[in-house]
Chains A and B, each alone.
Chain A
């Protein structure tokens, strides 16, 4: 019986990829384990092995084809005497081919490429705060890389340190190419030792350098949190202003896809609670670039919370000049009159999707992207709430002690008389992240939940 060879998912968040090269041709006999093709994700080129034995009956997707969705049939294997037409129809293909079913020769720890560039996220709502002038479309990943490269060119004391940032070119390919440009002195591969290198980086910041510490994910930064808080955030105060810690701790934060409880936590509210830290959580590529440049220049320790799912998404970024985004300045992603929806990071994508859906309900939602959580731009939030008289907050983190809780309390204290309804805080559910696809979906905040919350505060 002929079998279809499907486009494999080579990481937790991969949705599509490029079929870079076929290593077999029609008529070739293949054995299980034989390398069939090279598949390129936006972070890595991986070899793809045959699971079944047979003869390559037909190649369905030519090499060089980009944007091939996961699970698309890419070839047909036939047994002796069979013809290609014996293969089952594509519709019969099971939906959930996972990375585990498709052995790749490059083992994947949390090496997880995001989908290839998706359509520009905020098309139709141009950033009100992007400076006038030409823009270019780039992914969040490219924006982060460009920010680091520009700042490293400008300041020789800036260096990058972390696991796999150099020779491997970055676990998520954020640092791709930096080793080539800046050398091993400034792009420092570390052993797997978060507490140790976070402490070393903090000491280096006191010694006259400006470290950028990459955590492969912020989950692992829990090993290092003592240095982030006790050593980096508090020293300026404890030294009576003599010495601070000019440095950046950055990396992906929050849920990726199906990576389970220990790899799927949003730490925004944790770090935002600490005086002495600055906390950034970009949504767009422009946020990512402009905020990271500000973070590297800032004389204080900055927590920079990225998101793996956003890495591959494309946005417009100013193409010229020294583009920076100041801390404490929210952006209005979409103006509206009826309700204020406040979010940050990937929550903005849910908020925008909800706002779009609400148009059909006759509700005009104003979507605010906080961009930094310490400091928080209270003025923008309060001005909006005073206009709309309603507020919903959206974030991926746990509900207790959330950023939404803090905003609700602030709005209550400073704009109580303007509120026509209680503030609703949309958050992730109060559970460790489950692995099962359906349960994970339940655990995460969705646009539908935001829509429900908005309708509730609008009494609809």
Chain B
């Protein structure tokens, strides 16, 4: 049973349907990616975002055109949420020319200048100063864009995160540090990695305000995101959002996730699932019928299947691509 939804009188049906649709796209896409990985069509590392969908969808709902985003290697959800084409993402996963990086980046390294998505970074924590640097550029250029810089609870223990906090606050950079606390850094639970009770609280040492947010509740995420964005756009410097979330799958496709119990995972899935939450809001509030939602499900399935077909049919990059894009 999904959690009993609170009354949310100020959310429109259209908005809820939009969030439902976007979260569902990520989940179905990731399920398909897992399937293609099993078939050997996707190689290397593949980190699925299943369970965490509300974080990116909620924050994208708080953003405007021009805002930037940068994240780690668990990046498929971020790309879909900011409007990148599912076909291009899936074809990158299969290493084809139709992928966002012409097959040269892979699951962990995709970019879209058009959608202001700056990767896709494989070194844990490296995206944090990079995100602050994007914000530095926006401040320098005098616009009011903000940069969403996503990282996990594991990355939160990297030293460069705190180097970045220090400079971001010192220079009042318009950057939102989004800690996606899914509670496991690969196999190490947060309790085994730190005595800090919260991660957002570490910002206090640098003068950066922040808060913990129910990252399984897209509306809570959006509300917190709007607050953080307002802070940044007002020129008050960075803000930290610690999104309490959970990944249903292993760290990567090859992780059996034996460091946590099946019961723990099941409990989150049944009590906290972000998609079920919105579905309940829609159905229990009488805003949408089962038929309407089924139609969306069907739509999403079609988009995902189409992306998988494209990713299979798109040719491998020609050999000459080996030697391009090394220098501009």
Contact = CB atoms under 8 A, between A and B. Distances in A.
Chains A and B belong together in one complex: yes
Interface of A: 157, 159, 185, 188, 190-191, 193, 195-209, 226-227, 230-231, 235-244, 246, 275-276, 278, 299-300
B325 A203 contact: no
A379 to B, nearest CB: 18
Among B122, B132, B167: residue with most chain A CB under 10 A: B167
B308 to A, nearest CB: 20
Given A199-B128, A206-B130, A236-B327, A230 B118 contact: no
B122 to A, nearest CB: 7
Interface stretch (B17-25, B156-164, B185-193, B267-275): B156-164
5 contacts: A199-B126, A200-B133, A204-B137, A242-B113, A299-B328
Interface string B84-109: 00000000000000011111110001
B326 A235 contact: no
B279 interface: no
Contact of B170 (A191, A202, A230): A191
A246 B133 CA distance: 13
Given A157-B140, A203-B137, 10 more contacts: A196-B164, A198-B129, A200-B129, A203-B135, A205-B133, A235-B119, A238-B119, A240-B325, A299-B328, A300-B328
A191 B326 contact: no
Nearest to B173: A200
Contact of A199 (B100, B132, B326): B132
Contacts of B135: 203, 207
A280 to B, nearest CB: 14
B112 interface: yes
Contact of A237 (B99, B104, B133, B170): B104
A208 B141 CA distance: 8
B123 interface: yes
A226 B160 CA distance: 11
A206 B102 contact: no
A33 B94 CA distance: 72
Among B118, B129, B325: residue with most chain A CB under 10 A: B129
A203 B132 contact: yes
A19 to B, nearest CB: 40
Nearest to B166: A191
Among A159, A199, A231: residue with most chain B CB under 10 A: A199
A442 B164 CA distance: 42
B109 A239 contact: yes
Contacts of B109: 238-239
A227 B167 contact: no
Nearest to A244: B328
Contacts of A203: 70, 118, 129-137
A240 B113 CA distance: 11
B92 to A, nearest CB: 9
B251 interface: no
B102 A195 contact: no
Contact of A243 (B113, B133, B327): B113
Nearest to B110: A239
A238 B163 contact: no
Contacts of A207: 68, 133-138, 141
B196 interface: no
Nearest to A208: B137
Given A193-B166, A226-B126, A239-B101, A206 B160 contact: no
Contacts of B133: 199-207
Contacts of A243: 111, 113, 118
B58 interface: no
B140 A246 contact: no
Contacts of B129: 195-200, 202-203, 227
A300 B327 contact: yes
A226 to B, nearest CB: 6
Nearest to A189: B170
Among A185, A190, A237, A276: residue with most chain B CB under 10 A: A237
Contact of B160 (A190, A195, A209, A237): A195
